[in-house]
Chains A and B, each alone.
Chain A
């Protein structure tokens, strides 16, 4: 997760390999095409495995050998994970796969291919683009279009707001609880608040970054794919999953889930495929079993929906029959939100045992104490969450194309955007925090 100039060589290595692999795959026939694709995938995954998983695998070997009272003599390496490695590796792999599938012509211009992998707005944390969406845009001429630039700047402003006003503020409470959960023994309410806050923090942090990346590209005339579509306003967990980190979810769907057979070979195989994808998604996020447990828990909720499809339908129908549709929407939104909150405890917990401890504490009778001196954090966090939901409800139900609910008349519009800047200055957290997804 660090920027080390010499690491540019790693990027250069995969760029050169994939550039030539693309051309070779296109020119080859029969089994040679597959061989070149496998060579490219092996190079990309090899780099990823070495930098991200070497010590993790080694640690697991040590643990297993320890059970048999055998010492592991494989040395640990002090490797620093290059920033954004998982993102640009996946983007590079999607290029060679699409060339192999015939959906994308190999790029002959080395500079354009290198730009595809290194396009700076999305280099370190996505969205993970597809060659069909991006490469052709590098050949287009881009004229200055003030409406497009202003649209991009508005998106960046909203992304910045989500990051510094909401995510970084929520992180204060979250860090206090998750970094030392045992210091909060018996504080049931605190564990719930921290877990719910982390869910919002993760969303605002990552979708905030995505908005800034997409906005930056838009200012320069490039259109990147949408990465988040208001996931916490989804009415089912499956829908939430379709709206969350879309570029990664669709990557795994297109390149892993579908090739495995998706649900075509029956529900049982489909569920197994889903579990495999979720397992890999967890590992993609980090070399720690906590991520795997988190994503397998997501898989559990998704599987429940598939296995008990009819019962879930009846349950949803029953909820919607109680009152007006808005009531049903709110209840379903809350249910899917809780299904996101619980697995994400493992995403943030330092260890699996910490995660289990936090979940147990959430469901054990305890007190309603809050973290000492947290009034200020709660005050700013609640303001941020109210703004977040106001904007997202406006986008979802009133104006799907709008970024912010801006007034129509021009003077009011100036005051509105100036106020957003002022709110960032007044309520933002400016003290050296990082984007969570930079570490992946």
Chain B
């Protein structure tokens, strides 16, 4: 009895603190002025550019939206997000789709990104603060709770429990690990914020380049690391089809990379999907002039490299837009 009483009181106190602190975090999160959270909120609620670039940190570092926009004579925003994959890209476009339809979407996609990688499910945590306010992203966020779960198993049919939905009963959980960004988002102005473009300034040394290659080789040396993720294939198809339904042009682009590019199954899968949907697949990984160490900071391009690549891509996108008017 004594134990039950203590447990009940403690639960009530936890629930009250969770509610109050959760509300405070929600307020301060959505009123951030600087930094990646503020930028993400801006993309979700205000961006209305003609051209949207999506993808991972490779998109964010390699594509200069000002140069691409100038080439196309359109407004352009780089909505790439560090560490994200196709899951995030589709969630973002679904949100934008509720507000407006861009004219062109450029999806930066490294073939390896469509392999199964649990980290891509984990990293969907960046969407958690938006879960309650943007119903379009809920299915994507719920993928976090379904990863590694056999949904055809009997136990799941009896008790279809998605652990992510349970966690989201807490008001604080969506803001897990956001405290630092909330503080910085109110006080620290970031240096480079050119329409979502975050260029790197360093230049890659041959030793570091060698080490990056070694890491990639090691990472994909096991066959288990090269399994195509059916969820990602479905998300890529859904993204293209959603854009096509809304008369948004889509381009899949593969920006220059110093790492080994797997031209086997993943590459072919993307190529096939692009061909089936009649959309261009612009591969710059074999572009000799751009594959220059001076154009890279690490496995991303640096500012000069990004500008050079964006200029080349801008021209190719211009001809594509002109021919498909």
Contacts and interface: CB of A to CB of B under 8 A. Distances in A.
Given A375-B180, A376-B180, A425-B176, A419 B17 contact: yes
B312 interface: no
Contacts of A146: 2-3, 6
Contacts, number: 77
Interface in A411-440: 414-415, 417-419, 421-422, 425-432
A149 B119 CA distance: 36
A183 interface: yes
A332 B310 CA distance: 57
A219 to B, nearest CB: 11
A308 interface: no
Contacts of B3: 144, 146, 149-150
B105 to A, nearest CB: 26
Nearest to B175: A426
A180 B14 contact: no
Tell me which of B21, B125, B173, B180 has the highest count of chain A C-beta atoms within 10 A of its own C-beta: B180
A431 B21 contact: no
A185 interface: yes
Interface string A366-388: 00000001011001100000000
Contacts of A421: 14
B211 A376 contact: no
A309 interface: no
B176 A430 contact: yes
A425 B170 contact: yes
A417 B10 contact: yes
A182 interface: yes
B122 A422 contact: no
A183 B298 contact: yes
A415 B210 CA distance: 53
A380 B178 CA distance: 10
B170 A414 contact: no
A182 B211 contact: yes
A376 B14 contact: no
Contacts of B207: 182, 185
A418 B13 contact: yes
Interface string B17-51: 11001000100000000000000000000000000
A422 B176 contact: no
Interface in B144-177: 167, 170, 172-173, 175-177
B211 A426 contact: no
Contact of A185 (B177, B184, B208): B208
Contact of A183 (B82, B177, B181, B208): B208
A421 B173 CA distance: 11
Nearest to B122: A431
Nearest to B174: A425
Contacts of A179: 215
Nearest to A422: B17
A182 B176 CA distance: 32
Interface residues of A, number: 29
Contacts of B179: 380, 426-427
A146 B2 CA distance: 7
Given A146-B2, A150-B3, A182-B208, A428 B13 contact: no
A426 B13 contact: no
Nearest to B210: A182
Nearest to A179: B215
B215 A180 contact: yes
Given A376-B181, A414-B13, A418-B13, A428 B176 contact: yes
A379 B188 CA distance: 14
Most buried by A among B2, B14, B181: B14
Nearest to B298: A183
Given A182-B208, A183-B212, A185-B207, A418 B6 contact: no
B100 to A, nearest CB: 31
Given A146-B6, A426-B176, A432-B118, A418 B17 contact: yes
A432 B117 CA distance: 12
Interface string A173-209: 0000001101101000000000000000000000000
Contact of A422 (B21, B118, B177, B180): B21
A180 B21 contact: no
Interface in B80-128: 82, 118-119, 122-123, 125
B172 A426 contact: yes
Contacts of A379: 180
Nearest to A416: B13
B180 to A, nearest CB: 4
A373 B212 CA distance: 19
Interface string B169-207: 010110111011100100000000000000000000101
Interface string B204-223: 01011011100100000000
Q: Among A182, A379, A419, find the residue whose CB has the most chain B CB atoms closer than 10 A.
A: A182
A277 B82 CA distance: 46
A283 B305 CA distance: 48
9 contacts: A180-B215, A185-B205, A185-B207, A376-B181, A379-B180, A418-B10, A426-B175, A427-B176, A432-B119
Interface of A: 144, 146, 149-150, 179-180, 182-183, 185, 373, 375-376, 379-380, 414-415, 417-419, 421-422, 425-432
Interface of B: 2-3, 6, 9-10, 13-14, 17-18, 21, 25, 82, 118-119, 122-123, 125, 167, 170, 172-173, 175-177, 179-181, 184, 205, 207-208, 210-212, 215, 298
Q: Which 9 A-B pairs have the closest CB atoms?
A: A431-B122, A146-B3, A182-B211, A418-B13, A376-B180, A425-B172, A379-B180, A418-B14, A414-B13
Given A414-B13, A429-B177, 9 more contacts: A179-B215, A182-B207, A183-B208, A380-B179, A425-B176, A430-B167, A430-B176, A431-B122, A431-B123
